[in-house]
DNA sequence: CCGCAATTGGTACTTTAGTATGAACGAAAA
DNA sequence: TTTTCGTTCATACTAAAGTACCAATTGCGG
């Protein structure tokens, strides 16, 4: 949370510095004021889109946390290793045949994170490939 | 789609009109140019946030549409795509989580042949990856 | 005999998957 | 407050999967 605000402020500062540089150097005397305003509008529109996406991600994370609690503490005793909630998300999408990139898009995380989760998943399931993970997790009743 | 674009354009137009009104009436002569730029930045940031939210919504809708497609009309157009005997062998071992090399060893053929079979298999099943092939062949009852 | 499909094998290439390692942050527990 | 764990992201690498194109063999039916 604080990090996002800091990054937002830093981005703003960087933009302001950039604009000041443009203004006081050479461009502002040659360019039309309309073009200058257009550049500012475009830049801050992009910045706003980024902020909006960040807000969506945060909200969805909070919603998921409040709605999905009873996933991994009920019946998994000996055969089911303690798969975390996020690893379970990856596993389910994996079983549907999605690629890592598609899983990343659907969960709003990067493909690197998907690889991290899946790698940990394979370790916990003691398998080497995603096809084996699907097969084994169905065997031990992790997924339907 | 078109509606969103129209709304976006309308929002832009309204903003421009507002800015022009501010500029040509009274504020621009009294206020500092910095404040004027700040107002523009803030307005377009808000606009960008809105656009970002719209983009997220659209993408989620598309994902839902694509993910729910194969439930209704997948088993009527391809109840039995003529899978050859050897392709079936590969598919069965594939569903057990074996790699191409392991399948090749088990069938006493080269890995190239396994790739050929699996590639033809994916074309016939209209999928792109082995995980999807397993999922789909179970859906349409090709394998148990 | 000839065409056709299936099977097998290959080269060369791009894409995806997976590993190893490190880093950062937040929340919860100790 | 410090530690631990889960989550996130990243780079750099190797391994596996998949595609495109080609070619030889075999068996079957016209």
Per-residue pLDDT tens over the stretch A33-91? 666 667 777 777 777 666 666 666 655 554 444 443 333 333 333 345 688 889 999 99
| Mean pLDDT score across all residues of chain A | 72
The reply to whether the predicted model has a pTM over 0.85 is no
CB A84 within 8 A of CB A41: no
pLDDT band at A2 (very low <50, low <70, confident <90, very high): very low
CA A58 to chain centre: 10
How many whole angstroms separate alpha carbon B46 and alpha carbon A40?
13
What is the percentage of chain A residues whose pLDDT exceeds 90?
27
How many Å separate Cα B38 from the centre of its chain? 37
Whole-number pLDDT of residue B14: 63
Residue of A nearest to B70 (CA): A96
Q: How far apart are CA A44 and CA A52, in angstroms?
A: 12
Alpha carbon separation from A94 to A23, A87, A127, B67 (Å, rounded): 51, 10, 14, 13
* Cα B75 from Cα A4, distance rounded (Å): 47
Q: Nearest to residue B20, comparing CAs of B39, B47, B42?
A: B39
Nucleotide nearest to B128 in CA–C1' terms = D18
- Chain A positions touching B53 (Cβ under 8 A) are 52, 55-56
Distance between start and end Cα atoms, chain B: 42
Q: Say yes or no for a CB contact (<8 Å) between A45 and B51.
A: yes
Cα distance between residue B2 and residue B5, in whole Å: 5
From the list A37, A49, A134, which residue is nearest B48 (CB)?
A49
Tens place of pLDDT for every residue, chain B, 144 residues? 334 444 545 555 665 666 666 666 655 555 566 666 677 777 776 666 666 666 555 554 444 434 433 333 333 334 446 888 889 989 999 999 999 999 998 888 899 999 999 999 999 999 999 999 999 998 888 887
Higher pLDDT, B39 or A6: B39
Using a 7 A cutoff on CB, list residues near strand D.
A 61, 82, 84-87, 107, 109-110, 112-113, 115-117, 129; B 99-101, 112, 115-116, 118-119, 122, 128-131
Six-digit token string for B24: 């040509």
């Amino acid at each position: 949370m604080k990090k996002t605000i800091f990054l937002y402020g830093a981005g703003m500062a960087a933009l302001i510095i950039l604009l000041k540089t443009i203004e006081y150097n050479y461009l502002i005397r040659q360019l039309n004021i309309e073009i200058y305003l257009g550049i500012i509008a475009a830049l801050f529109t992009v910045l706003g889109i980024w902020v909006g996406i960040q807000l969506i991600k945060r909200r969805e994370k909070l919603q998921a946390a409040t709605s999905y609690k009873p996933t991994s503490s009920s019946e998994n005793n000996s055969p089911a290793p303690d798969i975390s909630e996020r690893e379970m998300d990856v596993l389910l999408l994996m079983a549907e045949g999605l690629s890592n990139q598609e899983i990343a898009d659907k969960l709003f995380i990067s493909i690197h994170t998907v690889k991290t989760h899946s790698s940990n998943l394979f370790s916990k399931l003691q398998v080497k490939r995603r096809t084996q993970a699907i097969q084994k997790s169905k065997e031990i009743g992790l997924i339907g």
